[in-house]
């Protein structure tokens, strides 16, 4: 079993070879055929999330242990099942739902597993997809995706799911309302392709990267360079006085300030990205403008099934996918950090 692991926080991934594990109980072993690379993988590799003012949320203090195999966008073929695993057959192709909780607490049983205080997220708390095999704790976390290419289907586990869950939090929007999507990376591109199936609002895409704006423009969506000095004024004019909703797929202080700045009264700002930093905003504006600020974190197993159904119905155009061999995992992370990736890099282990 060949994996690329974090051995020391902040250091390059290292290739390691270990015996391929055998599933026990309800476990299912997948032979991985595609694994997407997400910006969150960079934070996990670094070992922390930036909280602003020099503060950090350190993963080692939150339950993550090293060595750790990154990768939470995973598709594979069922290679072996534990004696108590039912409902899945050897040879079946499945997406692995990665946002798994402890499976025992009240939140896991009655609410949403991604809110669990002691999660077992694939690729973030336990070994994930930068490998040729991964162990999934139960068959119910395996989602069929018939009719969708595996390199695209793996992106549904995070990019697609996260975009869908954020869009599900929209208030009812009319055709004359504007929805501004901030950040057109893998998740933002997924939202751009998915939004027409889920809302009647007019779309606007904001990104500082001209290549990513070009992708949105090619889809017929007006774009804004939110790094430009007149970006807020230009967006207010484009939206006829302000957006009804802004979704921030970056989650940095400048993008959130921009998102709040282009809202009309009664507007709704949804923060998705985990870039990091600290929000500073005049508190009187929240009541005087009746604004809503909401966070959205990945999504549920049921929502992943819904994303797959949209894809199977042909209602989600594919995002750009850059296929690379598994051995390029370290270089691909470097490219992502340097802003050299448009869409999603997907790793493929050698057969």
Which pLDDT does position 338 carry in this prediction?
96
**Mean pLDDT in residue range 213-235:** 97
In the chain, CATH 3.90.180.10 covers: 2-158+299-348
| Ranges of CATH 3.40.50.720 domains, the chain | 161-295
How far apart, in whole angstroms, are the C-alpha atoms of residue 154 and residue 134? 14
pLDDT at 47 over 90: yes
Q: Write the CA distances from 102 to 99, 109, 122, 205, 212, integer angstroms.
A: 10, 10, 12, 37, 37
157-184 average pLDDT score = 97
Class of domain 161-295: alpha beta
Beta bridge partners of 81: 28
* Vertex 219 angle, CA 215 and 220, to 5°: 120
Work out the mean pLDDT of the chain and round it to a whole number: 97
CATH of domain 2-158+299-348: 3.90.180.10
**Residues 127-162: pLDDT tens digits?**
999 999 999 999 999 999 999 999 999 999 999 999
**How large is the C-alpha radius of gyration of the chain?**
20
CA 96 – CA 161 distance, rounded (Å): 12
Give the C-alpha separation, 65 to 61, whole Å.
Answer: 9
Q: What is the mean pLDDT of residues 221-235?
A: 98
Q: What is the pLDDT of residue 111?
A: 85
Render pLDDT for 76-131 as a digit per residue (tens, 0 to 9): 999 999 999 999 999 999 999 999 999 999 999 988 999 999 999 999 999 999 99
| Number of residues written out for the chain | 351
Q: What is the DSSP letter of 21?
A: P
Q: Residue 58 belongs to what H/E stretch?
A: strand 55-58
Question: What pLDDT is attached to residue 350?
Answer: 83
CA 196/CA 242 separation, integer angstroms: 20
| Model confidence pLDDT, tens digit, residues 182-199 | 999 999 999 999 999 999
Cβ contact 36:185 at 8 Å: no
**Predicted confidence (pLDDT) per residue in 277-324, tens digit:** 999 999 999 999 999 999 999 999 999 999 999 999 999 999 999 999
Q: pLDDT (tens digit, 9 = 90+) per residue, 236-279?
A: 999 999 999 999 999 999 999 999 999 999 999 999 999 999 99
229 has a pLDDT exceeding 90: yes
How far is the C-alpha of 102 from the C-alpha of 105, rounded, in Å? Answer: 7
Q: Render 309-343 in DSSP notation, one character per residue.
A: HHHHTT-SPPPPEEEEEGGGHHHHHHHHHTT--SS
Q: pTM score, two decimals? A: 0.97
């Amino acid at each position: 079993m060949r994996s690329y692991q974090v051995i020391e926080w902040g250091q390059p991934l290292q290739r390691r070879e270990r015996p391929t594990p055998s599933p026990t109980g309800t476990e299912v072993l997948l032979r991985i055929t595609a694994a997407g690379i997400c910006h969150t993988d960079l934070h996990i590799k670094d070992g922390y999330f930036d909280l602003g003012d020099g503060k950090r949320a350190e993963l080692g203090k939150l339950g993550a242990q090293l060595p750790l195999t990154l990768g939470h966008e995973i598709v594979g073929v069922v290679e072996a099942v534990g004696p108590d695993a039912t409902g899945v057959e050897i040879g079946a192709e499945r997406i692995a739902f990665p946002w798994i909780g402890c499976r025992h607490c009240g939140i896991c049983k009655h609410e949403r597993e991604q809110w669990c205080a002691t999660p077992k997220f694939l690729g973030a708390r336990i070994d994930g997809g930068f490998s040729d095999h991964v162990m999934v704790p139960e068959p119910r976390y395996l989602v069929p995706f018939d009719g969708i290419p595996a390199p695209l289907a793996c992106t549904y586990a995070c990019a697609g799911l996260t975009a869908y869950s954020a869009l599900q939090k929209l208030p009812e929007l009319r055709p004359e309302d504007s929805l501004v999507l901030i950040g057109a990376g893998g998740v933002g591109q997924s939202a751009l392709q998915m939004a027409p199936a889920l809302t009647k609002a007019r779309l606007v895409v904001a990104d500082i990267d001209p290549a990513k704006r070009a992708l949105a423009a090619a889809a017929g969506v007006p774009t804004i360079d939110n790094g430009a000095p007149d970006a807020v004024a230009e967006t207010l004019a484009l939206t006829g006085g302000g957006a009804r909703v802004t979704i921030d797929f970056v989650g940095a202080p400048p993008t959130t300030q921009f998102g709040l700045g282009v809202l009309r009264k009664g507007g709704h700002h949804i923060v998705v990205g985990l870039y990091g930093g600290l929000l500073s905003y005049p508190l009187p504006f929240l009541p005087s403008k009746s604004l809503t600020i909401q966070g959205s974190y990945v999504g549920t197993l049921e929502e992943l099934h819904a994303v797959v159904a949209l894809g199977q119905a042909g209602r989600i155009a594919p995002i750009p996918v850059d296929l690379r061999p598994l051995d390029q995992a370290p270089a691909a992370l470097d490219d992502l950090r340097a802003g050299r990736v448009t869409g999603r890099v997907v790793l493929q282990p050698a057969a």
